Amino acid sequence: MMIKKAGELADKYLAERHIMQLATTAGNKPWICTVYYVHDEDRNLYWASLPSRRHSRELAQNPKVAAAIAYKGVIGEKVIGIQVEGSARELELPLADRAMVERYAAKFSRDQQWIEDFVAGKTGHRFYKLTPASMVLFDEEHFPDDPQQELL
């Protein structure tokens, strides 16, 4: 079997998973939460959340974040996951670019009315974007001799 490029595998893994752990900090206190996400072609990560959530409040004060997406990690199997470090921000309403909201809606079975309400800011949720400064694919299955593959 031919080993695929790390970037191709990362894109596959990002598309097939739904949740990521997002780490924020405030006042020298770390916090981690779980959010549903979608990604774009540049591997930016997007999620919807309430501005009142701790992670939302913290990234408004300190945009430096980290994230992890577990792809495979059952005991006895090879470990596969993606780790990200970067900056996150809330996207302003009304959202001019609907593409990621529509992608999010499709991935999580939201209807057209939800899209319209979300883009107009009627749901109370906001859309956030994590722009990676670094991204690492850790893949013991496809890269057993060097599982840590730097993507960015």
Burial 131-140 (b: 16+ CB within 10 A, else e): ebeebbbbbb
26 has which bridge partners?
A: 29
What is the reported pLDDT for 3? 52
By the 8 A CB rule, do 48 and 126 touch?
yes
Digit-coded pLDDT (tens) for 66-124: 999 999 878 889 999 999 999 999 998 777 678 889 999 999 999 999 999 998 889 99
CA–CA dist 150, 152 (Å, integer): 6
Q: Which CATH number fits domain 6-150: 1.20.1250.20, 2.30.110.10, 3.30.70.420, 2.60.120.260?
A: 2.30.110.10
Q: Which helix (H) or strand (E) holds 87?
A: strand 80-90
**Taking the domains of the chain in order of start, what are their residue ranges?**
6-150
Question: Torsion over CA of 118, 121, 122 and 125, rounded to 10 degrees?
Answer: 70
Per-residue tokens: 137: 């694919």
Tell the residue number behind the tokens 């191709």, with chain if given. 8
Of 49, 48, 39, the C-alpha closest to 14 is 39
**What whole-number distance in Å separates Cα of residue 97 and Cα of residue 7?**
25
**Average pLDDT, stretch 13-27?**
96
Determine the distance from the C-alpha atom of residue 50 to the mean position of all C-alpha atoms in its chain, rounded to a whole number: 16
Range of weakest confidence among 23-27, 35-39, 84-88, 120-124: 120-124
